[in-house]
Amino acid sequence: MSNQPQFRALSLGAGVQSSTLLALSAEGVLPRVDYAIFADTGWEPGSVYSHLDRLEKEIATPAGIPVLRVSSGNIRSDALNPDHRFASMPLHILNKDGRPGMIRRQCTGEYKVKPIKQKVRELLGYPHPTRVPKGVFVEQWVGISTDEFHRAKDADVKYMRNRHPLLDMYWSRADCVRYLTSLGLADTPKSSCLGCPFHGNSQWRHIRDTSPSEWADVVKFDEAIRQGNARANASGSRLLGEAFLHRSRVPLSQAPINHVTAAERAALRIGADEADVLENGVEDGCSPWACRGDSDVLTQDDFGLAT
Ligand code: SF4
């Protein structure tokens, strides 16, 4: 059995850490990856798509690294399409009895993990449902920096073996930002769906204050999912409670997204940790190969509290 990978692929989310890995590989500091694979949910902010285009044009292509964009569909339109099976987003729920909840997250698996696995199998020459022979695997690079080392995980399939080169180099997020800045990429955005319910207030404010059209888009989406996704409604599985994008479980257009001062925090009896999540969102970004912490409140099984 060979212990050599068939090829090296970078899981490119186009955020700080994976952009750093791409550049380190392109510059020859790290070995060259054979592919950089970007899983497109169809609803990233415009700044992420522009950054990805730039990475491809200025860094990947000159180094001979193909950037492969893969997709399982458009998460936004799928959620609003009554004829489409929908892999649920982690929406915040307010149950009829006032209890908070959260819908079980399936979107990362569907829109990020699945299309990457499909592409890897295709590149290996064993597309689903062909069995990948024992011992055949690819090396997959995942951008995890030292400040988030706890997120480093193995892949859940034998034909992919995860590596975390930033951890091997002891690079923190700040090291990555410094390096990207030296390459003229200081404005590398945070990658995640525009309307991800894991956003903290700082991300919501950023959208509101820098991109009115994207803000209008997320506000409209928030209104549209109040009773859950369209397919669930069409099939008679309506939510008993209401769904929201913002943690406060208030319509996004009215949600308290301005910065909470220490005095306000004290008045609201919010602890430091909770205030941090409120401001900065759930700690970890949505990466296909690293857990993003789920809610600390009651988790519902999809639309399990339906009529
Ligand atoms: S960014 Fe948020 S909404 Fe998008 S796939 Fe990840 S968890 Fe789901």
| H helix runs in the chain, sequence order | 16-26, 46-54, 75-79, 107-108, 114-124, 165-168, 173-182, 201-210, 212-224, 230-234, 262-267, 272-280
% of residues, the chain, pLDDT over 90: 65
> Residue 288 to residues 10, 121, 156: CA-CA distances in angstroms?
12, 16, 11
Question: Best mutation site among 38, 74, 198, 283 for ligand 1, i.e. most ligand atoms within 8 A of its Cβ?
Answer: 198
Give residue-wise pLDDT tens across range 67-85.
999 999 999 999 888 888 7
pLDDT at 1: 55
Query: With contact defined as beta carbons under 8 Å apart, do 43 and 162 qualify?
Result: no
The residue that leads in pLDDT, 303 or 98, is 98
Which residue from 53, 29, 10, 15 is spatially nearest to 188, judged by alpha carbons? 15
Q: Is the CB of 192 under 6 A from ligand 1?
A: yes
The pTM of the full predicted model, rounded to 2 decimals, is: 0.89
Give the residue among 152, 130, 124, 103 at the shortest CA–CA distance from 37.
124
| Ligand 1 centroid – CA 196 distance (Å) | 5
**Domains, the chain, with CATH or none:** 8-300 (3.40.50)
Residues 177, 278, 208: CA angle, nearest 5 degrees: 70
CB of 191 shorter than 6 A to ligand 1: no
> How high does pLDDT run on average in the chain?
88
Distance between Cα 304 and ligand 1 center (Å): 20
Atom of ligand 1 lying closest to residue 112 CA: 5
Between 293 and 239, the more confident residue is 239
**Residue of 193, 203, 204, 295 to mutate, ligand 1, most atoms within 8 A of C-beta:** 193
Q: Which atom of ligand 1 is nearest to the CA of 110?
A: 5
- Confidence grade of residue 54 (pLDDT, cut at 50, 70, 90): very high
State the distance from the centre of ligand 1 to the C-alpha of 13, rounded, in angstroms: 12
Interval between CA 135 and ligand 1 midpoint (Å): 32
